[in-house]
Chain A
Amino acid sequence: MAEAAIRATGIVKWFGEGEAKTTAVKDVSIEAYFGEMLYIVGPSGSGKTTLLSVLSGILRPDSGSVTVEGADIWKLSSDKLADFRLQKIGFVFQDFHLFPRLTTAENVAIPLILKRENWSDAIVEAKKYLEIVGLKGRADLPPVKLSGGEQQRVAIARAIVGKPDIMIMDEPTASLDGDTGQSIVRFVKQNVLNEKRCILIVTHDDRIAEFASRTLKMEDGKLIGVEKGGSM
């Protein structure tokens, strides 16, 4: 068994107060390992994105702990937690959240700039990663000039440019057609995943199921099963 990248124990997260209180994640414990592509699947409202947010240091759980490489991230101060996200996590948001007023290369360079790297060095590095995701020659275009699939690749380049240990992808194929979605996830598995990196993907797109190392199934905030490989 490979080393655990993330170990979450007894995660509970609720929203609202009183009668409006809803428990989104109910006592979930999971482990994610380096070298694996872990899917979290389930119907809408099952708590997938909430769990992913807790695991990635974005949303504080009401109880439970998340340990990444031996450190409980929810015991870190807010600045340290921000640093943790910057150094350890690469995000691919569902809507990409690319900056339309920046060039593609500048978008990719953002994590490096947040790490206080020199602007021009960051752009050079970003261009290398654009080449890796197959977007050579697109570096100076604004994201709006790119197709949906290309924008997704830019988001992936941005997520990995900082060499994170953990990559978080929320519904990566939601806004892509079937073929493009498959090719993107295949690309991620072949080119981004390695033995020193763990990739967590929230999805309910069964067309990409074949690429999963393991699949966690959630329903109504609970973890109802773990399967090897992909199964929706």
Chain B
Amino acid sequence: MTGILKLAYKLLVNDKAKFTALLVGITFAVFLMIAMTSLFAGVLYRASATVVNLGASMWIMDPSVQTVANTIGMPDYVLDAVRSIHGVDYAVPVYTGSGLVKLADGSFQAANVVGLDDTSLFGRPNLIQGKIEDIYAENGFIVIKDTEFRKMNNPTVGTEFEVNEHRGVIVGIATVNSSGLFGIPTLYTTYNRALEYIPNPRFTISYVLVDPKTPADVANIKREVQGLGYLALTKDEFMSKISAFYMFQTGMGMNLLIMTIMSFIVGLSISGQTFYTFVLENIEKFGALKAMGAKSRELILMILFQASFTALTGYGLGIGLCAGTIALAKMRLPDYAAMIMYWNLGLALGMVVIIAAISSYFGVRRVLRIEPFDIFRG
């Protein structure tokens, strides 16, 4: 059987012009599909930046919360009640909100403000300048050095500013795993200072961050929290909830779907037509093989192999091209959000398999219809 596959391989790759056209078609389609979906994956990941950066295993919130940025304050008793649930190792409050920063040059800049639990500073960022204990100093804030850092006029330790007409001082510069989605700088301070600086409604706890004692305790914590009238989600569940919101309730998902389908159609059109032309140009040769004694299933195998080989090679090239482009883009454009996830690769592979299947279906139909006698009589 390997001889027949080698024959199919040589017939395919030795026709350099057609093979190149096929590869270009599939590579381009895969590139577009992965570029679109990886950009969306990056956007979704950034939408969950706070969840990623704070790193808590479980999040307690109001059931109406749809994204991490859309907080609904919870009363203080929730924190105490959660701490008393069996299986909770620890639970801390966190505040997330936005403040209006007045910079030294008099300009204004919106900023995310994250208030960490005063006692534990759970979820603190990785400091690259300054000391973490200085966050307790008067008016102390830590600024995140991400792509939005320059919007704070590239502050240094000691830089002063105002947040909602309160004095603030940068006491540390830190990094986090993921930049946010909304293009504004992020400031960390203590929970109580955040409440003091940012105007708030009656209930002030944005989320309660929980660490269960064991993974087996998660279910019980969820049940108990539900009994309190609130919602407990694991980190992954919360990120999925946020992704689902952006995907299904903002139009972003539909736009992505349309663009991905367009890429698929482009790939299918180029590759399908080229592959069918390739089969047509070789139809007499397939007929001659049939006359010589090749069985129909062997010819089908040859075509399927040719289609699969082209599809998978194009798939690999498309991934490489896309990964290279994203890496290059990220070197030049730190804001570029695209990130290739397994589901991007799986989706593109699925679409490439469909392209190969449709292309080979028509080729196989044509080859099965050719009669050796048609070849024989010329």
Contact = CB atoms under 8 A, between A and B. Distances in A.
Interface of A: 49-50, 52-53, 58-59, 78-79, 82-87, 89, 91, 93-95, 97, 99, 101-102, 106, 110-111, 113-114, 116-119, 122, 170
B124 to A, nearest CB: 64
B2 interface: yes
A101 B11 contact: yes
Chain B binding surface, main DSSP class: helix
Interface string B344-378: 00000000000000000000000000011101111
Interface residues of B, number: 30
22 contacts: A49-B376, A58-B291, A58-B373, A78-B296, A82-B290, A82-B295, A85-B293, A91-B291, A91-B292, A93-B288, A97-B284, A99-B11, A102-B14, A106-B10, A110-B7, A110-B289, A113-B3, A113-B4, A113-B6, A114-B293, A114-B294, A117-B3
Contacts of A101: 10-11, 14-15
B3 A116 contact: yes
B331 interface: no
A122 B3 contact: yes
A111 B4 contact: no
Given A58-B373, A82-B290, 8 more contacts: A59-B376, A78-B296, A86-B294, A95-B284, A97-B285, A101-B14, A102-B7, A106-B10
Nearest to B296: A78
B376 A58 contact: yes
B298 interface: yes
Contacts of A106: 7, 10
A82 B6 contact: no
Of B3, B4, B6, most buried by chain A (CB within 10 Å of CB) is B3
Nearest to B1: A116
Contact of A119 (B6, B284, B373): B6
A117 B4 CA distance: 10
B376 A93 contact: yes
Contacts of B371: 59
A97 B372 CA distance: 12
A75 to B, nearest CB: 18
B11 A114 contact: no
B306 to A, nearest CB: 12
Of A50, A84, A119, most buried by chain B (CB within 10 Å of CB) is A119
Interface string B1-34: 1111011001100110000000000000000000
A111 B292 contact: yes
A216 B285 CA distance: 30
Of B4, B293, B295, B371, most buried by chain A (CB within 10 Å of CB) is B293
A97 B7 CA distance: 15
Given A79-B295, A86-B293, A99-B11, A114 B4 contact: yes
Interface string B276-293: 000000001101111111
A59 B285 contact: no
Of A101, A116, A170, most buried by chain B (CB within 10 Å of CB) is A101
Contacts of B372: 53, 58-59
Nearest to A59: B373
A53 B4 contact: no
Of A52, A99, A118, A170, most buried by chain B (CB within 10 Å of CB) is A99
